[in-house]
């Protein structure tokens, strides 16, 4: 359960605290440059996050040992060189004597879907796949607040998904802010979905059995792309897995406060991302970002996965409620004792393995109910 806020925190401090939401903005947005200086830091918040599970804490300790600086004090160029949660998970793997090299049972190839160097996808495919029946396909979108990280950073989840499902996973790279501000990332996500539908068969995939998945900013893209497919009369994905998505522009969500000082994502980082990826303050209310205000009717069955110790926890919870309100089939699970980015740590965090198993089970069931092409 979320921790109770320190009773000594004044109402005035609370008003300052909520400025750390996704919608919280500096006076102006950044220049379209990766070297643009960061915005003014929000006021500190006197709340303590819930206690992490021991295996999750081991990763957080490893991350602290890597000596990174607070993201909100860096430029995007600096932040892109910053140690990641994935790096920390590898430190723990090494400590446990586990191999950190990629699983060789899954092979990859990179293919371009657009003209920009960032418009490409890393295609994961089981090495044991034969030329027989085509494989189901998952289009996966990575996180990083649309500013940092890439398909390499987020290798663990799509690679594990391909192996567990016996599926092709298309991990989409997209143009980053601030060089390319919103809605460039959503446009790329939609373009990559169209491209996958057109080309999956050439990789041994079955475009009639396709699903969407993503983490954080990518969790948002997975749902937004399902909406795009519906509105543009494209073949609908069979299922959506959205992991700790950005989904709600409200400044007063519970998790913005009770997880304000969580790691690796804290509340001060949220306006930092918004400062760089939004072209204007009004973008925060765009239904592609503020998904709870979107037309959500008629979307595919969806699983939303959240972490307890995460400023974005309430985003997933409120998105699930909004989807249920319009009759969508949706389940939402908040895993206790874990933080943002836990989903890619299945080898060292027990709850991450549970969440991965849930995602794989839901996707496998959805693909089984869709007849395969031969």
Q: Omega before 92 cis (within 30°)?
A: no
Whether this model's pTM surpasses 0.85: yes
Helix (H, G, I), strand (E, B) or coil at 235: coil
19: left (phi over 0), alpha (psi -120 to 50) or beta: alpha
Q: Taking Cα atoms as reference points, which of 246, 194, 243 lies closest to residue 220?
A: 246
The pLDDT value recorded for residue 373 is 61
**Residue 370 pLDDT grade (very low, low, confident, very high; cuts 50, 70, 90):** confident
pLDDT band, very low/low/confident/very high, at 372 (cuts 50, 70, 90): low
State yes or no: is 112 an active-site residue: no
Indicate the pLDDT class of residue 131, thresholds 50, 70 and 90. confident
Q: Is the pLDDT of residue 172 over 60?
A: yes
Residue with tokens 């239904």: 287
Return the closest-CA partner of residue 138 out of 162, 164, 102, 173: 162
Distance between CA 64 and CA 198 in Å, rounded? Answer: 44
Q: In 3-state terms, what secondary structure has residue 172?
A: strand
pLDDT confidence bin for 374, thresholds 50/70/90: low
**CA distances (Å), 296 to each of 130, 239, 373, in order?**
38, 14, 29
Could you tell me what percent of the chain has a pLDDT over 70? 92
Domain 106-368, what fold? Rossmann fold (3.40.50)
Closest CA to 34 of 72, 79, 70: 79
> Would you tell me how many other CB atoms lie within 10 Å of the CB of residue 38?
20
- Please name the residue that has the structure tokens 């909520």: 18
Please give the pLDDT value at position 16. Answer: 35
Catalytic residue among 216, 242, 255, 314: 216
Q: Is 340 a catalytic residue?
A: yes
Q: Which tokens hold the place of 107?
A: 């092979």
pLDDT of residue 132: 83
Residue 21, pLDDT above cutoff 60: no
- The average pLDDT across 13-28 equals 40
Comparing CA positions, the residue from 158, 314, 176 lying closest to residue 241 is: 158
Specify whether the CB–CB gap between 222 and 211 falls below 8 A.
Answer: no
Looking at residues 230-250, what average pLDDT do you find? 98
Overall average pLDDT of the 151-179 stretch? 98
**Alpha-helical regions (H) of 244-309:** 254-258, 269-277
Among residues 142, 176, 186, 340, the one annotated as catalytic is 340
Work out the average pLDDT over 278-298: 97
Instruction: Evaluate if residue 5 carries a pLDDT over 80.
Output: no
Residue 14 predicted with pLDDT over 90: no
- Region 311-325: mean pLDDT is 98
* Degrees, nearest 5: CA angle 84-304-237: 105
Q: Which residues contact 187 (CB under 8 A, 6 or more apart)?
A: none
What mean pLDDT is predicted for residues 277-299? 97
Q: Mark whether 310 is an active-site residue.
A: yes
Please enumerate, as own/partner, the contacts of 114-120 that have beta carbons within 8 Å and a separation of 24 or more. 114/188, 114/191, 116/175, 116/180, 118/173, 118/174, 118/175, 118/176, 118/180, 118/188, 119/173, 119/174, 119/175, 119/188, 119/191, 119/192, 120/173
Catalytic residue, from 310, 314, 315, 328: name it: 310
Average pLDDT over residues 180-186: 98
């Amino acid at each position: 359960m979320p921790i109770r806020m320190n009773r000594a925190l004044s109402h005035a401090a609370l008003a300052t605290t909520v400025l750390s939401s996704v919608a919280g903005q500096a006076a102006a947005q950044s220049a379209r440059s990766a070297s643009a200086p960061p915005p003014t830091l929000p006021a500190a918040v006197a709340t303590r996050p819930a206690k992490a599970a021991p295996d999750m804490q081991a990763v957080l300790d490893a991350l602290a040992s890597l000596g990174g600086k607070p993201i909100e004090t860096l430029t995007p160029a600096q932040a892109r060189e910053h140690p990641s949660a994935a790096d920390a998970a590898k430190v723990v793997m090494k400590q446990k004597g586990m191999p950190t090299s990629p699983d060789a049972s899954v092979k990859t190839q990179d293919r371009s879907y657009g003209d920009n160097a960032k418009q490409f996808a890393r295609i994961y495919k089981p090495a044991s796949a034969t030329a027989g029946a085509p494989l189901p396909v998952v289009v996966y979108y990575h996180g990083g607040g649309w500013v940092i990280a890439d398909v390499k950073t987020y290798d663990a989840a799509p690679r594990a998904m391909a192996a567990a499902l016996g599926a092709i996973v298309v991990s989409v790279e997209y143009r980053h802010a601030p060089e390319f501000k919103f809605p460039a990332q959503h446009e790329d996500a939609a373009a990559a979905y169209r491209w996958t539908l057109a080309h999956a068969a050439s990789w041994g995939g079955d475009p009639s059995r396709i699903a969407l998945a993503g983490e954080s900013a990518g969790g948002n893209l997975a749902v937004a792309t399902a909406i795009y497919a519906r509105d543009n009369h494209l073949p609908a994905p069979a299922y959506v897995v959205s992991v700790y998505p950005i989904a709600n522009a409200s400044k007063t969500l519970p998790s913005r406060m009770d997880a304000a000082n969580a790691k690796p994502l804290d509340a001060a980082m949220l306006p930092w991302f918004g400062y760089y990826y939004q072209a204007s303050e009004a973008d925060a209310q765009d239904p592609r970002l503020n998904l709870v205000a979107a037309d959500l009717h008629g979307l595919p069955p969806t699983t939303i996965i959240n972490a307890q110790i995460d400023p974005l926890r309430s985003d997933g919870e409120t998105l699930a409620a909004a989807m249920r309100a319009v009759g969508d089939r949706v389940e939402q699970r908040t895993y206790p004792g874990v933080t943002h980015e836990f989903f890619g740590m299945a080898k060292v965090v027990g709850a991450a393995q549970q969440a991965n198993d849930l995602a794989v089970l839901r996707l496998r069931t959805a693909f089984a109910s869709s007849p395969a092409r031969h």
